[in-house]
Amino acid sequence: MRLSLTSFLWVLCALFPVITSAQGRLDNYVRAETTWGDTLNPAHSLPETGFQAFYININNPKKVIASETVNRPAIRHGYRKFHAIEPDELGIYWVGKIHIPQDGLYQLTVNKSTSDGKMRVLLDRHIVFSEIDRETDSKVMRLNKGDYTLEAEYINGHHGLNVSVILQPLVKMVDQIDLRRRVNALKLPKETVVQVVSGNNRKRPDNSVKIQVPQPANPYILILSDDDGTHWDVRGNQPELILYSGFDKGNTVEADAGIPVWAWRGKIPYSIGRSGSYRCQCNAQGLYNCGDIRSLKDFMQQIKALTGFPLRGITGKYAAKRAKKQTEKQAQKPLGKRADKVVVVPDIVMNAQLLQEDQKFRQYYKQMKERCETTGGTQIENLMKQ
């Protein structure tokens, strides 16, 4: 068999990955003369676990307003003051120990609230990440086994707050074409079902989501989809397999040892589970718009084609709004923000009634769309006649 030059180069890259300057060793990165820690944490003390976070007002940067120990260098906060600091005046310094279990390539991902935010990340005082003009960026570096001190310095410059710094082993993501073959190779039980969690808005302050899956009647595959540095913490009954999107955005998964966890190139739309009557309107140009509404029937077929197993439930930002309409016992539980902020899966259970409602809306949508296009949208002379 002959290989074209392009194919030959692809084979070489697969067998002998090229280590670029961005994937260089730590010694290749410039050492910082000073860090925020020299002023805010002059003793250079580190917590036993996690990271120490120091919060400052950038207008008086040498004064620590508040400090606490957190699980990871990440924070998610609404449009309001944080420790009496206006969000656009907030600065945060994180410092902690990280353990690199073995020599290899590792990916560092930074997510910021906005491109206006400024970030610098240091590893043993080497500047491995400096100010960028994008909301998300990542780079790959080669690290040796051992313990390192990670520091992150951040100026928010925005009215919201959603920031994370993630360092994790580089993995090869599974693409759509190869996924079905790999799932088949696991030889999962025939009664396996699929649970989908997408675009979840019930996150904890450190941008993590705790997933609690009650003991189901069937073994299941768990698909997790988000794109802003989410840490998924899977509790309770463990799945046969976890697929998660957004590795390149810094998403991570924590589950019991021995559970296969695959980074997946695909993504589940946020709109899955959205109520059919959500913001439907005929605009002045004669276009009927209901937002990004997806057919549940089509989505079920896509999941079956992707994994070989049927979709059982959906959990997410919009699915929670439909949960109260379900008659299934498991989905009748209130799944909004709880004291422990644990998300119980699923929000809605796929059944004949749900599919019937979805089909009814599709018919309604088709009729209203045709009517909107026929009338040409809202007309000035007819507005008061409505």
Structural domain spans, the chain: 17-169, 176-380
Count of residues making up the chain: 386
What is the pLDDT at residue 4? 44
The pLDDT tens digits of the residues spanning 224-233 come to 998 778 899 9
Q: What is the mean pLDDT of residues 154-165?
A: 86
47 vs 134: which has the higher pLDDT:
47
Is 163's pLDDT higher than 50? yes
Measure the CA–CA gap between 315 and 264, rounded to whole angstroms.
Answer: 18
Is 94's pLDDT higher than 80? yes
> 312: which DSSP letter?
E
The pLDDT tens digits of the residues spanning 214-254 come to 876 799 999 999 877 889 999 889 999 999 999 988 999 99
User: Mapping DSSP to helix (H, G, I), strand (E, B) and coil, where does residue 45 land?
Assistant: coil
Q: In what order do the strands lie in the sheet with 136-143?
A: 74-77, 161-169, 104-111, 136-143
Measure the CA–CA gap between 303 and 192, rounded to whole angstroms.
Answer: 13
Mean model confidence pLDDT for the chain:
82
Q: Are 336 and 316 in contact (CB under 8 A)?
A: no
Q: In what order do the strands lie in the sheet with 126-129?
A: 64-70, 51-57, 90-100, 146-155, 118-123, 126-129
User: What fold is seen in the domain 17-169?
Assistant: Jelly Rolls (2.60.120)
Instruction: Name the β-bridge partners of 150.
Output: 96, 123
What is the pLDDT at residue 317? 60
Surface-to-core class of residue 15, CB atoms within 10 Å of its CB (0-12 exposed, 13-18 middle, 19+ buried): exposed
What is the pLDDT at residue 325? 45
The pLDDT tens digits of the residues spanning 120-149 come to 999 999 999 987 546 568 889 999 999 999
